[in-house]
Chains A and B, each alone.
Chain A
Amino acid sequence: MIDILLHIALVIGIMLALVMIAAGLIWLERRTLALWQDRYGPNRTGLFGTLQVVADMIKIFFKEDWIPPFADKKIFVVAPAILMISILLSFAVVPFTPLIGVVNLNIGLLFFLGMSSFGAYSIVLAGWSSNNKYSLIGAVRAASQMISYEVFMGLSLMGVVMLSGSFNMRDIVLAQQGRWFFIPQFLGFIIFFIAGIAETRRLPFDIPEAESELVAGYHSEYSGMKFGMFFVGEYLGITLISAMTTTLFFGGWLGPAFLPPIFWFLIKMFAFILFFILLRASLPRPRSDQLMALGWKVLFPLSMLNVLVTGALVLYFKL
């Protein structure tokens, strides 16, 4: 009984911590983006502007939560929730440390891939139910982008699965003792990271949102806390992809013993989050067809090759 209560407390704690990190990322992104553009960013509210998060939250809670009369109301309301649910559920399989983690699933990696496919519904339904041409164009772009990048996102992880011999995230981390998987699986790491950027619809692959072309893409009609959920969902997505990259390729919680495991995990995760922001600061957005061409003509064959070569080597050396 006590065990179950403790576990529920742990689950709620992880969820709250994740939402807090995602909200804090709004501040972190604005500050670091400003740093790379020779500006200051929000530095007035509180120490180094950290209370900016609170100000943003207060503002977004008190904005009018407007549902356009031409929208398909039920789907319009449900769509942002699907995004949050799918990303928060994906975090269930992430092992933060040997002790901190929601569930030890034997098909954890497949669960993560399934949930990231589920997230595509949120975007498509949001664009569809808005009944707005810009939203629809954004949704169509999101559908093509997310579905095609999911294909080799899964394929690029198969090398990791072959090397560790398991779909269980904890086993994958434990198999990386002594040698993190980004060394034997460097190609897989690069492809997974690029696919991860496309999955979270972050710059430079923010084609579904594309504010300079499509107003705000699939969430043009959203306001108030529904928009806030898309916004926080985007940052949760960044955190998820960074956490997955850390777990699958950079040894998760593993690290020298002078720091506790959770710190190693957070350090690696935040390094990737900062890299996400650096990419946003430096790269322009490609055209939609360029993204498709990169995906199907370059990354897809490369990930197939990666699976073939890794499989052959694993068979040959009986690793």
Chain B
Amino acid sequence: MFSILRSIWLTFIHMFHKRVTVEYPEKKNYLPPRHRGRIVLTRDPDNQERCVGCYLCAVACPVDCISLQATEDENGRRSAEFFRINFSRCILCGYCEEACPTDAIQLIPDFEMAEYNRQNLVYEKEDLLIDGQGKYPGYNFFKHAGVDAGVKAKGEGIDEEKPVDIKKLMP
């Protein structure tokens, strides 16, 4: 009996509490920088595409929404010939970002991608590419890689030793 009256009173008191609803289109919640939202392709500090077309993101994707085709330029630098993400399938799980060895594919705190036409949810490479470096500034994969792709010569990398002359006996 007392507990019934008490719960009625406690509910009544909630009249004077602050409401938890955030009235979305007028007020927007703060989203942390690591929020998993829309997917973008970033560029390296030299404004070149970071993506090397390794297909690891497409393999990691649980809903198979990423499709791409790799290509190579005259220097042997790999990039994506086309890169297509179908956001009507994408579940924003972030596995592609985890899989990416060059920090090219990144998820950003933006989720307002609603469209009236389903076909408009298929984003091509030019829709995905942004001008900035995203969450990992200063990283350039080809400065660390062991191959010469026109960015640096072999053995000139930041944490790279000179190539070993396999014809010599000296260590």
Query: Quick check: B15 and A35 within 8 Å, CB to CB?
Result: yes
Q: Does B4 count as interface, using CB distance less than 8 angstroms?
A: yes
15 A-B residue pairs with CB within 8 Å = A35-B14, A36-B11, A36-B14, A37-B14, A38-B14, A38-B18, A38-B20, A39-B19, A40-B21, A40-B23, A278-B11, A278-B12, A282-B10, A283-B4, A283-B8
1/0 per residue, CB under 8 A from B, across A260-285: the answer is 00000000000000000011011100
Bound-state CA distance A37–B17 (Å) is 9
Interface of B is mostly: helix
Bound-state CA distance A202–B2 (Å) is 21
Taking the nearest CB of chain B, how far is it from the CB of A302, in angstroms?
13
Bound-state CA distance A37–B13 (Å) is 10
Given contacts A283-B4, A283-B7, contact A36 B19 (CB under 8 A): no
Query: How many residues of B are in contact with the other chain, CB < 8 A?
Result: 14
Give the top 6 A-B pairs by smallest Cβ distance, nearest first. A282-B11, A282-B8, A282-B7, A281-B11, A40-B21, A38-B19
Q: Which residues of A contact B (CB under 8 A)?
A: 35-40, 278-279, 281-283
Bound-state CA distance A281–B14 (Å) is 10
Taking the nearest CB of chain B, how far is it from the CB of A198, in angstroms?
15
Query: Quick check: A39 and B21 within 8 Å, CB to CB?
Result: yes
Excluding A35-B14, A36-B14, A278-B8, 11 further A-B contacts by CB distance (< 8 Å) are: A36-B12, A38-B14, A38-B18, A278-B11, A278-B12, A281-B11, A282-B7, A282-B8, A282-B10, A282-B12, A283-B8
Bound-state CA distance A283–B10 (Å) is 11
Residues of B within 8 A of A282 (CB): 7-8, 10-12
Residues of A within 8 A of B12 (CB): 36, 278, 282
Bound-state CA distance A38–B18 (Å) is 7
Query: Quick check: A38 and B17 within 8 Å, CB to CB?
Result: yes
Residues of B within 8 A of A38 (CB): 14, 17-21
Closest to B23 in A: A40
Query: Quick check: B4 and A39 within 8 Å, CB to CB?
Result: no
Taking the nearest CB of chain B, how far is it from the CB of A244, in angstroms?
21
